[in-house]
Amino acid sequence: MSDNQNQSTGWTGGQNAFGDFAPGMVHYTDKVLFDEVWERPDLSKRDRSLVTIAALTALGKMDQLQFHLGFARQNGVTDDELKEALLQLAFYAGWPNGMGATTVLKNIIENDSEA
C-alpha cells in the first residue's frame, strides 16, 4: 500500500451526503476518490480540478459541477480561467453543456460576492 492509501485527508463529503444510507458510496468517495486519487502526486489538484470540470461539463452533470467549480477555486483555478475553460469546452462538449456550466459558475461567483 502506498503512503497515500494510508493517509486520510479528513474528507467527509460522502459521509455528509449519505451518512449510513450508502456506506459503499461513502467509502469510495471519501477514502478512495478523495484520500487516494485526488492526493496522487503526478497531477496537481488544480489540474485534477480542470480535468474533472471538463468531464462533468461534457457529460452535462451540473449537480456535480456545482461542487467541483467551487473546489477548483479552492485549488487555485481563477474565475477568469474557469470562464475561459468553459468557453473552450462549449465548442467541444456542446453549446448547451457550456452554457449550463457557465450559468453554474456565474451563480457561484454572484453568491460569493453577495456574502
Residue tagged 473546489 (cell numbers) = 71
Q: Which of 42, 41, 112, 40 is nearest to 82 (CA)?
A: 112
Instruction: Give the C-alpha separation, 11 to 29, whole Å.
Output: 9
SS3 39: coil
pLDDT range class, residue 30, cuts 50, 70, 90: very high
Contact assessment for residue 105 and residue 63, using Cβ atoms and an 8 Å cutoff:
no
Domains, the chain, in order of start with CATH, read 3-37 (no CATH), 45-114 (1.20.1290.10)
Write out the three cell numbers for 14.
Answer: 460522502
Q: Which of 10, 94, 37, 105 is nearest to 67 (CA)?
A: 105
Phi, psi angles (nearest 5°) of residue 90: -55, -35
Instruction: Give the C-alpha separation, 22 to 31, whole Å.
Output: 14
Q: Please report the pLDDT score of residue 7 as a whole number.
A: 66
42-96 pLDDT, tens digit each: 999 999 999 999 999 999 999 999 999 999 999 999 999 999 999 999 999 999 9
Q: What is the DSSP letter of 32?
A: I
Residue 6 predicted with pLDDT over 80: no
